[in-house]
Chains A and B, each alone.
Chain A
Amino acid sequence: MRRILIMGATSAIAEATAREFARRGDALFLVGRSAERLQAIAADLKLRGATAAECHVLDARGMDRFPALVDSAAEVLGGLDTALIAHGTLSDQAACEASVETMMQEFATNALSAMALCTLLANRFAAQRHGTIAVISSVAGDRGRQSNYVYGSAKAALSAFTSGMRQRLHSQGVRMVTIKPGFVDTPMTVAFRKGVLWASPATAARYIVRAMIKGTPVLYVPWFWRPVMAIIRAVPEFIFQRLRL
């Protein structure tokens, strides 16, 4: 049985992933902003087989409370060996261009808070010499594009940060999994037209759980985003700057 902390547990991908863990009988510590939504999810996860599903209300921007959060998770679950960091907001690019404050807030939510939590978890897991941390980054972090480069650069920071942390933790028996979803059909992406490239949260969740169990370093969800992003990264900047991606 794994003892799992899930940050951003009301997000569609996190909830679908939590259901996969529940089916396996794992114990879950769910963190999110809405108490009633967390409680509804927790009740559901227990019926689906979770050994425990505890709720903790916290805004991801409240970074000063992260140490207490991690201690509380470990205490309530009787230990902690797995974490999924899944919170985030799909930034309003136009608003971020208009306001330095908004841009910095978005960056703090999507990058800094996840990096803060990773730092605490890494130290704890390194000390106990085992554990798995999975972080939801994004294919949007593979290259900055005019349509969402604030969100993209926060995710790029997360990808680079987790890459370095993976090297540091490797010899200490701790696995770091960077998850890069492409298009997933969630409330975050309701405004987009959906085509064949879109995956359901349940499909994404199955890949994510498998990667977390195996300790896959970088997971593209679904897999075909890996070659797609390789091509996009390979386009020279003097051409890329003229594109309307």
Chain B
Amino acid sequence: MAEPITSWRSGPGSSWGNLLHYSHRVVPLTHRFAALPDSSPLLAYGNGRSYGDVCLNQDGVLLATRGLDRFIAFDSVSGVIECEAGVLLNDLIELTLPYGWFPPVTPGTGFVTLGGAIANDVHGKNHHRVGSFCNHVLEFELQRSDGTVLRCTPEENREWFCATAGGLGLTGLIRRVRLQLRPVPGPWLGGDSRRFRSLGEFFELDRVSGGNYEYTVAWLDCATGKSHLGRGVYMRGNHVPGREPVKSRLPVRLPLTPPFSLINGLTRNFLNQAYFHRPAAEQSAARWHYQSFFYPLDGILELNRMFGPKGFFQYQCVIPEAVAERSLTEIFERIAGSGERSFLAVLKMFGRIPPLGMMSFPRPGATLALDFPNHGARTLALLEALDAITVAAGGAVYPAKDARMSQDSFQQYFPNWRQFKAYVDPAFSSSLWRRVTQ
């Protein structure tokens, strides 16, 4: 068959930040019984929802895994589901929620594949209670380029399990996944939402909430002005009973990338202030459908296009708790002094449950996620400065959202990387991996 160099209609070759446009040879995988193509470097590409170059492989091969989207088995009594690794979290929920089962951990979008969730050991708003995604993976199948297929569980082939959990897709192809779901009474979440005026208030709210609420997260006001610094809205919730609404909302599309960014000082200030001051920001008995609670931005498909043709950078770091307030303040001040502005900021406290992955990102402390429209060198300089603060604090930056961190920073954030290297499949690589290790 011809060797196609192609941009797959729905994506392989690009990532969510719209920053990088590389050429790849895309090989769609259509079933889980095939051998790997005999070429390199290979990299699995799921649904392209990571932001930078962790899912890209410039001038290499992308194994498009969305064709591996079959369910294999589901036990509605024990809540164990087995499926191919290209199944989306949304599709899984559609199947299991009617039986009262829900993913144990979900990131901020339902459009991720299970393979991607393992490779990035993703976390959610319940990290303080249940840890990250791979803490709930019972088993997966890892296909290596030498032809071996490893069945990995936290006991069997444990070292391969731990290398692949959060292993950025570098240890081979994850083909099949068995996952323990969590029981839920229905699609609804109940809780409340509170405004806070400072970081100190945030930490206080979080300290009293973590024990009573499974899901906690804070949104930070990104409008300009000193009075806005560190204020935001704290949301907390638990699963509560209730029936599925009859009518589900249809997603809105953003079919084209506008020629310029829709995000500017005006829209950012307006939207952030409106969000902070809207009446629902202070609600004592809130009730959310799981889609609006977990995936508020999934209602607009291709939302990433609003940043225009140049795309945007995400920056997500974790700062150890002891220095969190000081370092976060430093980060906010550095951003305020830079002329660059984040459009959206989310703050969450990670808990103490250790991840299984040797390269996993989550660790105890405060995690802050920001996104910046791409203004070239100015934006990159700011992110370098933020890295200096994160490194000094002994924190880390999330590779799934990164497109620019330096080798030095990466190697300080992930001191296990040398040990991890022994597990990287010789035929696998990624643009990110080459960037931070060569």
The answer on a CB contact under 8 Å between A43 and B73 is yes
The answer on a CB contact under 8 Å between B4 and A191 is yes
The answer on a CB contact under 8 Å between A200 and B6 is no
CA distance A63 to B401 in the complex (A): 54
Of all chain B residues, the one with the shortest Cβ separation from A47 is: B71
CA distance A193 to B7 in the complex (A): 7
Which residues of A are found within 8 Å of B67, using beta-carbon distances? 12, 187
CA distance A43 to B74 in the complex (A): 10
Taking Cβ atoms with an 8 Å cutoff, the residues of B that contact A are 1-2, 4, 6-10, 26-28, 30-33, 67, 70-74, 95
CA distance A193 to B8 in the complex (A): 8
CA distance A44 to B74 in the complex (A): 10
**Separation in Å of the B74 CB from the closest CB of chain A?**
6
Q: A185-B9, A194-B8 are in contact. List 14 more A-B contacts (CB 8 A).
A: A12-B67, A34-B31, A40-B33, A40-B72, A47-B71, A48-B71, A185-B8, A187-B30, A190-B4, A190-B27, A192-B4, A194-B9, A198-B9, A200-B9
Which residues of B are found within 8 Å of A190, using beta-carbon distances? 1, 4, 6, 26-28
- Assess whether A214 is interfacial by the CB under 8 Å rule: no
CA distance A181 to B33 in the complex (A): 28
The answer on a CB contact under 8 Å between A37 and B31 is yes
Interface residues on A, range: 20 to 34
Which residues of A are found within 8 Å of B9, using beta-carbon distances? 185, 194-195, 198, 200
The answer on a CB contact under 8 Å between A191 and B72 is no
A10, A187, A200: residue with the most chain B Cβ atoms closer than 10 Å: A187
- Assess whether A41 is interfacial by the CB under 8 Å rule: yes
- Assess whether A64 is interfacial by the CB under 8 Å rule: no
The answer on a CB contact under 8 Å between B6 and A192 is yes
Which residues of B are found within 8 Å of A47, using beta-carbon distances? 71, 73-74, 95
Which residues of A are found within 8 Å of B26, using beta-carbon distances? 190
Which residues of B are found within 8 Å of A193, using beta-carbon distances? 6-7
Q: CB-defined interface of A74-88 with B at 8 Å, one 1/0 digit per residue?
A: 000000000000000
**Total number of residue pairs linking A and B with CB closer than 8 Å:** 56
The answer on a CB contact under 8 Å between B10 and A185 is yes
> Would you list 30 pairs from A and B whose C-beta atoms are within 8 A, ordered by A residue?
A12-B67, A34-B33, A36-B33, A37-B31, A40-B31, A40-B32, A40-B72, A43-B71, A43-B73, A44-B70, A44-B72, A47-B71, A48-B71, A48-B95, A185-B8, A185-B10, A187-B30, A190-B1, A190-B4, A190-B27, A191-B4, A191-B6, A192-B6, A193-B6, A193-B7, A194-B6, A194-B7, A194-B9, A198-B9, A200-B9
CA distance A47 to B69 in the complex (A): 12
Within 8 A of B (CB), among A18-49: 34, 36-37, 40-41, 43-44, 47-48
A37, A47, A191: residue with the most chain B Cβ atoms closer than 10 Å: A47
Main SS class of interface, B? loop
The answer on a CB contact under 8 Å between A187 and B70 is no
7 pairs of A and B residues whose beta carbons are closest in the complex:
A44-B70, A194-B9, A47-B71, A191-B2, A191-B4, A185-B9, A44-B71
The answer on a CB contact under 8 Å between A40 and B70 is yes
Which residues of A are found within 8 Å of B33, using beta-carbon distances? 34, 36-37, 40
Of all chain A residues, the one with the shortest Cβ separation from B1 is: A191
Which residues of B are found within 8 Å of A192, using beta-carbon distances? 4, 6
Which residues of A are found within 8 Å of B95, using beta-carbon distances? 47-48
**Separation in Å of the A76 CB from the closest CB of chain B?**
22
CA distance A43 to B176 in the complex (A): 14
CA distance A100 to B276 in the complex (A): 73
Which residues of B are found within 8 Å of A37, using beta-carbon distances? 31, 33
Which residues of B are found within 8 Å of A185, using beta-carbon distances? 8-10
CA distance A65 to B6 in the complex (A): 40
- Contact A187-B28, Cβ < 8 Å, known A40-B72, A44-B70, A47-B71: yes
Which residues of A are found within 8 Å of B74, using beta-carbon distances? 47
**Separation in Å of the A93 CB from the closest CB of chain B?**
12
CA distance A43 to B6 in the complex (A): 32
Which residues of A are found within 8 Å of B30, using beta-carbon distances? 12, 187
**Separation in Å of the B98 CB from the closest CB of chain A?**
10
**Separation in Å of the B322 CB from the closest CB of chain A?**
47
Which residues of A are found within 8 Å of B71, using beta-carbon distances? 43-44, 47-48
Of all chain A residues, the one with the shortest Cβ separation from B34 is: A37
Which residues of A are found within 8 Å of B72, using beta-carbon distances? 40, 43-44
Which residues of A are found within 8 Å of B6, using beta-carbon distances? 190-194
CA distance A192 to B9 in the complex (A): 10
Which residues of B are found within 8 Å of A191, using beta-carbon distances? 1-2, 4, 6
Which residues of A are found within 8 Å of B70, using beta-carbon distances? 40-41, 43-44
B7, B8, B27, B30: residue with the most chain A Cβ atoms closer than 10 Å: B30
A34, A41, A48, A195: residue with the most chain B Cβ atoms closer than 10 Å: A48
Which residues of A are found within 8 Å of B32, using beta-carbon distances? 40
CA distance A48 to B30 in the complex (A): 18
